[in-house]
Amino acid sequence: MSLNAPASAIDPKTVEDAAALLRAGQLCAFPTETVYGLGADATDSDAVLSIYEAKGRPRFNPLIIHCSDLAMAETLAEFSPLARTLAKAFWPGPLTLVLPKRTGVALSDITTAGLSSVALRVPAHPLALELIAVVGKPLAAPSANPSGRLSPTSASQVRLGFAGRVPVLDGGPCSAGVESTIISVAGDTLTQLRAGALSREEIEALVGQQVLDPAKDAAITAPGMLLSHYAPNALIRLNADAANPGEAMLGFGKVSGTINLSPSGDLHEAARNLFAMLNQLDETGIRAIAVAPIPLDGLGEAINDRLERAAAPRG
């Protein structure tokens, strides 16, 4: 199967076309700077249910709500001074904030999986921002892939993942390549629920305090917290110096391979290439992928998080 899946007849040609689909209660995938999202009107419960049905996503796993700006986000959640500081510094951008949901908002309860909190972000992609503004409503948008599989960083990967059944607004390849960082803000405490394209160090440098990790047995309160997630069809073996017989090798830095995330050891380049290269190897039909060691500093935390979940036992 080709990785360059041709555009489908159902794909919207313009932002206005995509907005018309969403206003009609239909799904439409769209680009963000992190990965492609599977969008639906977050105020329409039937539309949001279609996301879970299309992805095969567990209903207890909440969705990220994408807003056009901070003003829209503030209509949905209670922002503390600390939360507002983070939003003003990192939005638009790859930061999702989990905050107390405002009472009486039109947001579908299905988006929050019945929780009293809501996950919000403002994406840093011009087409995404224009689309949300044209629709005039927040958009629920998890990654545009079947649940548990690799997140798509191009429109062609969305088409392949859903066999052309989901409309996708093509905005080219994603610049970050891994999902947003998810931070819970509770009073003056910050907890990183998911490592992502914004490093923990950048957040801690801004606020001058430590960002905590969730408890090992913490309940699922945000996307990306399932143990087995972001998985290709092939099995994953981590921290490998070389491939075993029958394995493809995903290299990094001086550890060469079938393909290399970043020959120069650049973590930003590696993050941008991670899902695309795993998809590329997976499409060859290989049964196992060995992955070179990745440093844990900076964006390496997010890369290792995705790889560990991809390598986890699958139920």
Helices and strands per DSSP (H, E), number in the chain: 9, 12
Question: Could you tell me which residues come within 8 angstroms of residue 263 by beta carbon, excluding any fewer than 6 positions away?
Answer: 251, 253, 256
User: Does residue 1 lie within any of the structural domains?
Assistant: no
Residue 77 lies in a domain: yes
Q: Residue 220's pLDDT is what?
A: 55
- Give the C-alpha separation, 179 to 272, whole Å: 10
Same domain, 277 and 173: no
How confident is the model at residue 90, as a pLDDT? 98
167 falls within a domain: yes
Question: So what's the pLDDT on residue 251?
Answer: 97
pLDDT in tens, 10-52: 899 999 999 999 999 999 999 999 999 999 999 999 999 999 8
* H helix runs in 29-184, sequence order: 45-55, 70-74, 81-90, 126-135, 155-161
The structural domain count of the chain equals 2
**Domain containing residue 270:** 235-311
pLDDT for the residue numbered 314: 66
The pLDDT value given to residue 275? 86
Tens place of pLDDT per residue across the chain (315 aa): 334 677 776 899 999 999 999 999 999 999 999 999 999 999 999 999 999 899 987 666 789 999 999 999 999 999 999 999 999 999 999 999 999 999 999 999 889 888 899 999 999 999 999 999 999 999 999 999 998 889 999 999 999 999 999 999 999 999 999 999 999 999 999 999 999 999 999 999 999 999 998 865 556 566 655 565 667 889 999 999 999 999 999 999 999 999 999 999 999 999 899 988 998 999 899 999 999 999 999 989 989 988 998 898 865
Is 253 part of any domain?
Answer: yes
Handedness of CA 233, 285, 263, 152 (dihedral sign): negative
Neighbours of 231 (CB within 10 A): 19
Segment holding 281, helix H or strand E: helix 267-282
The structure tokens listed for 181 are 């960082």
**Whole-number pLDDT of residue 232:** 84
Q: Are residues 177 and 136 in the same domain?
A: yes
Query: Is 214 inside a domain boundary?
Result: no
Looking at the structure, tell me whether residues 156 and 265 fall in a common domain: no
Q: Is the domain of 183 the same as that of 241?
A: no
Do residues 184 and 281 share a domain? no
pLDDT at 2: 39
